[in-house]
Structure 1
Amino acid sequence: MSSVATSSVSTSLLTTHPNIWVDPSRSSLVDEILTVREALPSASGALAVWRPALSTGRIPQNTYMVCHPGDPTIDWSFSQTCIPMEPNVFDEVWSEAQHMLSQKERLYVTHRSVGAHPQYALSVQTVTDSALSTLFTLNMFLDAQYAESQLGDPLTILVLPYDTVQRPGSSKALIAMDFQRRRGLVYGSSYLGSVKKLAFTVMNALLPEHGILPLHCSANEAPDGSTALFLGLSGTGKTTLSSDSQRKMIGDDEHLWSDEGIANMENGCYAKLIGLRKEKEPEIYMAVLEQGQDAIIENAMVYPDGTIDTDDDRFTENSRATYPLTSLQNVKKGGQGAHPSTIIFLTADASGVLPPIAKLNTEQAMLWFLLGYTSKLAGTEAGITKPKATFSRFFGGPFMPRKPQDYLDLFQQKLTQYGSAVYLVNTGWSGGPYGVGERMDIAVTRHLVCAALRGELHSVPYWEYRKFHVAVPLVCPGVDENLLNPKKMWSHPDDYDRVADALALEFKEYFEKNFLGLVSDAIAAMCPGR
């Protein structure tokens, strides 16, 4: 995918506008946000903001990628992710956005980057009229600029969170990106996550050309220097499980895996707040609800005294907090680490039939990486009000726009070369499906994950769950053995078998419709239901 060097923002906008703040300080932005009441202070010092219904989550139905003739890299057949937009349509909306920005009283411009590896960092220029969106870029994007990067021209993002698209025939809000010309547009959505996900989608399109595997995952490091990756969709526990006082946090959502090891792509965390408890997630709790002076709280219930109710989901279940990694006590400086010793696939299984933990061999790992099964959780996208079974390839389908073989080949290469142990962890339901069973206790899940990371599951006995082609441990120190077998947690075993058969069939049908013939017979044989 070639880069086309162009002037992303018209010279007149950034040279003639009478009031532009270029790379403003955090303190000046906070003062401005409070002055114009773009957010309000909470009891912990964090800024709190509430959004319209359309801006409480991502809007994949209004997210577009510019389709340039002759570009063979983007998988345009994958309509769930890659909604094409003609270049001339993008240009019209881009020009309209620049005109809208030219009429604003004040503009903010930041120059940041994504990617902690100097050779694979992408410079990002953000232009917006929102001080809060600008502060978000300070939290989430790195402040370093890397002249030696191989990724070429910078990405320019225009952010107009409070305006609506005027172009006839267009939706009132849209997210659009042009990989070749390095342009991104967030127009009409004030959901802060739209800004970061746009930047990382661009990274995920660019990196494979350089032999670098981008991953939608969190990462942390043990005292001995060994690292772990946690792959999963929003709400499956990436941030929670990688925030561990005994391990250094490398990053919580986006990483790259090169020949030198792993590297964080971002500067901060963007954590879900619903059900947050100090005793279960102390690092996040402290960063947001105790010492939150660098945090932004988005779409959570805030009472008049400034306290936050993390159990109140009437507004949305997708309440969020963003804060820089420096808000955590145990962070890996530099954002890089060794090749992962352990990889955890996180799935929030709403059917309640998958085991809480299972070990995967190479073929099984390839299959589960390709399919990325989970349940889409309430609030992570506009309109999602209860968990919904979904397959999101590579545990990040909406952000992986290239043809699947590009990511799959790189994953197989690195998994084979570096010998990472891979586990599947169910952070979803046990004892029954959503509405009947109970959500897995995060304390139990953390115990299972820690056992895997410490190598305690290497030598325990396993049983083969043939329906799903995974190996399930019979024992785990400190965990009820009945919990390890999901069927034993159901009141009616026949009901379990019926639901398990139905889920296995969903796997089979999805795989055969989308990926049959793409992978080897050995990998295909590991698909549940086959």
Structure 2
Amino acid sequence: MEFKKEFSQIIENHGQVMNNLTRSETIEAAVKRKEALVTANGCLATWTPPESTGRAPLDTLIVKRPETESNIDWDSPNNLPVDPETFEMLWADALAVMKAKDTVFVTDRVVGADSSYALPVQLLTDRALTALFTLNMFRPVPDDIESSIFAKKDFKLLVLPYDKIDISRYEGRLRKLSNGKTSDMAIVMDFEKRAGLVYGSAYGGSVKKLIFTVMNYYLPLENILPIHCSANENDKMELSLFLGLSGTGKTTLSAVANRALLGDDEHGWSNNGIANFENGCYAKLIDLNPEKEPEIFRAVFHKDDYRSHGAIVENAMMYPDGTFDLFDDRLTPNSRASYPLTFLSNIKASSTGNHPKTIVFLTADANGVLPPVSRLNPAQAMLWFLMGYTSKLAGTETGIVDPVSTFSRFFGQPFMPCLPHIYSDMLGKKMKEHNTVVYLINTGWSGGPYGVGSRMDITLTRAMVDAALDGKLENVKYKMDRIFHLDVPVFCPGIPSDILTPENTWKDKNAYKERAIKLSLEFSDYFDKAYGNKNIDDDVRRQCPGK
């Protein structure tokens, strides 16, 4: 099947093609077609079906072809294969549906602020709002796009958010649901044919994360490390990266007045330095507090003419007067907003910068046993990069609630398709090449686990982050935490020295040791399961707690 030829034929032959409308024209089309409502402040509000209020990981598939399958870790639970024949059927069916639409929308954008590896992405969809999402999230095509390594290797993205798959054709080919029926939704990536399909998912994140995953496959093969992180730099052009799962404080700690933001989610580290993939942000809105997150709140809810605004609010509770209740999660706890980076006040317009001076791994350890700050050598950094650890709370039973350990490789497991050593080896190599220092910051509990201890005060966490970024931890003394194989400073400016060693903050020292050993064994068990048969360097293996 000639995927790209048939895709292009629709654009050339369809009777009503809205080809690269301006942003204001796209906004007007979305409103006129009743795909979104204009709110009190001028942003757009939309609501999706229940199955489209978040990602669909069990329906997110990678086409398994001989040309690409050896690069992919098929043992990872998020790398779900689909055979080429099934994808060709889905692509043909989607094209047939698209041909029958009254109107189709096309956008030509790129992913990647560094034009030397910007990936051209052409979207074909029947929804103006999906087109607007790509205008918010993907970047304009640069004048020098011909210099990109992907200039002649563009990616085609076909999106039918509200149409459902004819499941009678796909029994035994797509996922079987608990009720015995076949899933009518598919998000599929074909790395070899350079084609992607979103069929039946109206969640904006399906488009964003599909392209993120595509970049995370292509870039390592070009010696570029893709990183799920935020990035900022100071007035000396010293750049820092922040990696962390939800709830660890990544957004809060990276959005600060004295450092310009390159981007908040997806970056590449090439021989040129760091570059943001995106043109915008896709922020969670639930419980958004304008005092704690003023930048995000202002970006989404500033007042403007709707034709200029164009922030898209998904699945938030809205009153009839067009105002929102962001603390009401009855529709979903995953309400979101898409908006351009230019809506933020302190950004670096180019979204590119130098090689990082400092990288911060963020974890929120609800066990209360990890040090609040540690310095990682390359082998340690590669290990913690592989593990992507944080912990979540199991519930609110009476008494102490046992935290649930969460491991997400490279702090973004669902979007990292390649074999794990490809990413971790590249991180270690680049750290050494550019003298990059990595710190692990625990924004979680101190003095005991959740229910006994307390969450680390944000002012202390900020002081530790500032000390790390400002180089104030480079020449202090360190001691080894032998349970977790971490180098812990004995002094940090502005921080009481006793809290730097977790055991000091626990009244019951035996309870601390038991809890720490329990967590270390969870690390070891997970490592063996995820990486026991993978090509991980022995020195990195030895850094794993419990080993």
TM superposition score normalised by structure 1: 0.90
Q: Name structure 1 gaps, 5 residues minimum.
A: 379-385
Which sits farther off after the overlay, 113-122 or 25-34?
A: 25-34
What value does the CA root-mean-square deviation take over the aligned residues? 2.6
Q: Name structure 2 gaps, 5 residues minimum.
A: 175-182, 395-401
The Cα of 1:528 is off from its aligned counterpart by 0.9
Distance between the aligned counterparts of 1:101 and 1:270, measured in 2?
27
Letter in 1 for 2:156: T
Distance between the aligned counterparts of 1:32 and 1:130, measured in 2?
9
Mapping of residues 438-449 of structure 1, within 5 Å: 440=456, 442-449=458-465
For the 8 Å contact 2:19–2:106, the answer to whether it is kept is: yes
Q: Specify whether residues 376 and 31 from structure 1 end up closer, same or farther in structure 2 by C-alpha distance, changes over 3 A only.
A: farther
**Other-structure match for 1:522:** 539
**Other-structure match for 1:502:** 518
Which sits farther off after the overlay, 447-456 or 481-490?
A: 481-490
**Other-structure match for 1:205:** 217
The Cα of 1:268 is off from its aligned counterpart by 0.8
Partner of 1:512, secondary structure, is: helix
Distance between the aligned counterparts of 2:431 and 2:250, measured in 1?
20
**Other-structure match for 1:265:** 277
The answer to whether 1:455 aligns with 2:471 is yes
The Cα of 1:111 is off from its aligned counterpart by 0.2
Letter in 1 for 2:147: E
Per-residue CA deviation, residues 472-516 of structure 1 (Å, 9 max, x unaligned), is: 334433445555444555675555443332221111112223324
**Other-structure match for 1:60:** 57
The answer to whether 1:513 aligns with 2:525 is no
Distance between the aligned counterparts of 1:424 and 1:7, measured in 2?
44
Match of 1:358 among 349, 371, 374: 374
For the 8 Å contact 2:161–2:202, the answer to whether it is kept is: yes
Partner of 2:361, secondary structure, is: strand
Distance between the aligned counterparts of 1:347 and 1:26, measured in 2?
38
**Other-structure match for 2:420:** 404
The Cα of 1:433 is off from its aligned counterpart by 4.8
Q: Specify whether residues 161 and 492 from structure 1 end up closer, same or farther in structure 2 by C-alpha distance, changes over 3 A only.
A: farther
Distance between the aligned counterparts of 2:445 and 2:332, measured in 1?
20
**Other-structure match for 2:236:** 224
**Other-structure match for 1:44:** 41
Q: Specify whether residues 353 and 42 from structure 1 end up closer, same or farther in structure 2 by C-alpha distance, changes over 3 A only.
A: farther
Q: Specify whether residues 450 and 440 from structure 1 end up closer, same or farther in structure 2 by C-alpha distance, changes over 3 A only.
A: same
Match of 1:117 among 114, 121, 125: 114
Mapping of residues 165-180 of structure 1, within 5 Å: 165-167=165-167, 168-169=170-171, 170=174, 171-180=183-192
Match of 1:7 among 4, 7, 12: 4
Match of 2:330 among 294, 302, 314: 314
Mapping of residues 275-290 of structure 1, within 5 Å: 275-290=287-302
Partner of 1:112, secondary structure, is: strand
Partner of 2:342, secondary structure, is: helix
Letter in 2 for 1:522: D
For the 8 Å contact 2:43–2:313, the answer to whether it is kept is: yes
Greater CA radius of gyration, 1 or 2? 2
- The alignment-based identity, stated in percent, is 51
Partner of 1:172, secondary structure, is: coil
Q: Specify whether residues 346 and 89 from structure 1 end up closer, same or farther in structure 2 by C-alpha distance, changes over 3 A only.
A: same
Per-residue CA deviation, residues 195-242 of structure 1 (Å, 9 max, x unaligned), is: 011111111111122211111111111100100011233454333332
Distance between the aligned counterparts of 2:506 and 2:317, measured in 1?
35
Distance between the aligned counterparts of 1:133 and 1:317, measured in 2?
22
Match of 2:321 among 305, 317, 331: 305
Distance between the aligned counterparts of 1:148 and 1:467, measured in 2?
49
The answer to whether 1:84 aligns with 2:101 is no
Letter in 1 for 2:521: L
Q: Specify whether residues 150 and 484 from structure 1 end up closer, same or farther in structure 2 by C-alpha distance, changes over 3 A only.
A: same
**Other-structure match for 1:382:** none
**Other-structure match for 1:323:** 339
Distance between the aligned counterparts of 1:428 and 1:309, measured in 2?
28
Letter in 2 for 1:280: K
Partner of 2:116, secondary structure, is: helix
**Other-structure match for 1:383:** none
Q: How many residues align structurally?
A: 520
